[in-house]
A and B are shown apart, each in its own frame.
Chain A
Amino acid sequence: MAVTLEVAEVGKDFLIPVIDSVSFGVEAGEFVCLLGPNGCGKTTLLRIVGGLEPPTRGRVLLGGEPVSGSDRHTRKVGVVFQEDRLLPWMTLRENVELVLEPLGVDATARRQTADRYLRLAGLGGFEDYHPARVSGGMRQRAAIARALAIEPDLLLMDEPFGALDAQNRRIMQAEVRRIWRETGRTILFVTHAIEEAVAIGTTLIMLSARPARIREMVRNDGSIARGTLIDGLNTMIMEEVERQQGASSTS
């Protein structure tokens, strides 16, 4: 079941402040794209939401429960990283089956679920291939199948198509959009490509230059023409890139 996500005044320092203070809420079933210039803390924010990194300030609640600490939530979170992070010594099917083990699914059901999600990701017929034997795009799709197979309450994606060529990227965007429609998961998707965000997200959050704050949050529900939205966001991101470069050249 998809759940709500609440990010409340989250900040993070790594020697220098990376994230100043960020707050936003995500409704169940929303597809949120997190935008911003390179190095502004998008990935860090995603890792904090995923419980992989503790925030320096503020807190993150998933379905009302904190994502880090001893009273950590019991919700299921799937993460698609920039790299596929498949185990190279396992077949695509075994890679997906592996993450179903902690959920107490029996072997037969694991196999069925793994095969179903691999098919959903367009990998039917490749279940017994090792990652090294398929293309980069297929590996990334297998990583998406793995994240979906646990039927996550929240799906986090960190520039998952960054390593793909333009054509594969468009195909994958359409696939993720379709999978999102079919499964109704809550998705938080990090990207620095504005066209990508506008093409797939229902809500777009633009972060500022480092230390990150929210520069703009827009609903991508068709009320603003796509071209206008892309132009506006492009102007914003250019301003933020310039600010970030200005800040680093004076420091």
Chain B
Amino acid sequence: MSARHWATRLHLATWGVATVIVAGWVLLSWRYGAYVLPSPLAVVRGFADIVASGEIWRHTFASLGRILVGFGGAVVVALLAGLASFLSRTARGVIQDFLSVLNSTSVFVWIVISIIWFGLSNWAPIFTTFMITLPVVASNIVEGVATVDRRLLEMGDVYRLSGRRKFTAIVVPSTLPYLVAGMKVGFGLALKVSVVAEIFGVTSGIGYVMNYSREILATQMVFVWALVMILVMTATDKLVFDAVSRRLDRWR
């Protein structure tokens, strides 16, 4: 293998640019001080601290737990919407109309409403995550169901497959890639949204601890937790979604 090939595989150019950015970061941090911009070294130390103390797991799992409930609920409801849109064309139309309304609603609307409804509790970030990720996942699934090859369904009719068998053998496999794509985007969104909602009223989670760090003037910890978020997102993308996509593509 050529040197050029390895350079591409290791993203050498990206590392080069990153080095320049870190150098600039160090200079700016000297110029403006640790409160505004903590040095890279302080961030690395902070990261080592939360790993050593185990604090990283407490807050990460608190956030992931809420995401699991909110986003998981959204996936379940989205699947039901997909089933309904397979069974009835009218249902599909109604669902699509409601999804476009949900899609154009701001995160902040749901945060405020969820605080009013659920008070300062776990349910506020969970509900917000649910409402924001539902339209993303559901519109993907409904789109997937709508684009099932009609010719394959007709083949199913010719050979008198039951409605249930047409669903499991034809509709589900052709919709799966849409579901996975929707879940991938939805999960990323869930992490971003639930963290914002955690600023209000809960005492654990990445969003809470970032806001708390800001209040106690520990700016380096804000950066540390931002890093944790990036790592969680990258890990789920690479370990979960890419693996699932590869598995789905086996027959291609």
Contacts and interface: CB of A to CB of B under 8 A. Distances in A.
A78 B157 CA distance: 11
Contact of B170 (A77, A81, A87, A150): A87
Interface in B132-170: 151-152, 154-155, 157-162, 165, 169-170
B32 interface: no
Residue of A78, A83, A89, A146 most packed against chain B (CB within 10 A):
A89
B173 interface: yes
A85 interface: yes
Contact of B173 (A52, A83, A87): A87
A208 to B, nearest CB: 28
Nearest to B154: A52
A52 B153 CA distance: 12
A99 B151 contact: no
B4 interface: no
Contacts of A227: none
A102 B161 contact: yes
B251 interface: yes
A221 interface: no
A101 B165 contact: yes
A77 B161 CA distance: 13
A124 interface: no
Contact of B251 (A50, A77, A88, A98): A88
A131 B173 CA distance: 15
A50 B151 CA distance: 14
A52 B160 CA distance: 12
Contacts of A132: 251-252
Given A87-B173, A88-B251, A99 B154 contact: no
A169 interface: no
Given A85-B151, A85-B152, A98-B169, A130 B251 contact: yes
Residue of A50, A85, A146 most packed against chain B (CB within 10 A):
A85
Contacts of B250: 130
B41 to A, nearest CB: 51
B157 A52 contact: yes
Interface in A77-122: 77-79, 81, 83, 85, 87-90, 98-99, 101-102
A188 B81 CA distance: 42
A99 B152 contact: no
A39 B233 CA distance: 54
Interface in B235-252: 250-252
A89 B175 CA distance: 12
Contacts of B158: 50, 52, 77-79
Contact of B161 (A50, A90, A98): A98
A102 B151 contact: no
Contact of A101 (B151, B155, B161, B173): B161
Contacts of A131: 251
A217 B154 CA distance: 30
Nearest to B153: A85
Residue of A50, A83, A87, A131 most packed against chain B (CB within 10 A):
A87
19 contacts: A52-B157, A81-B151, A81-B155, A85-B152, A85-B154, A87-B170, A89-B174, A89-B251, A90-B169, A90-B251, A98-B165, A98-B169, A102-B160, A102-B162, A130-B250, A130-B251, A131-B251, A146-B159, A150-B159
Interface of B: 151-152, 154-155, 157-162, 165, 169-170, 173-174, 250-252
Interface of A: 50, 52, 77-79, 81, 83, 85, 87-90, 98-99, 101-102, 130-132, 146, 150
Given A79-B155, A146-B159, 17 more contacts: A81-B155, A83-B151, A85-B151, A85-B154, A85-B155, A87-B152, A87-B173, A88-B251, A89-B173, A89-B251, A98-B165, A99-B159, A101-B161, A130-B252, A131-B251, A132-B252, A150-B159
Which 6 pairs from chain A and chain B are nearest by CB? A99-B159, A130-B251, A85-B155, A89-B173, A102-B160, A79-B158
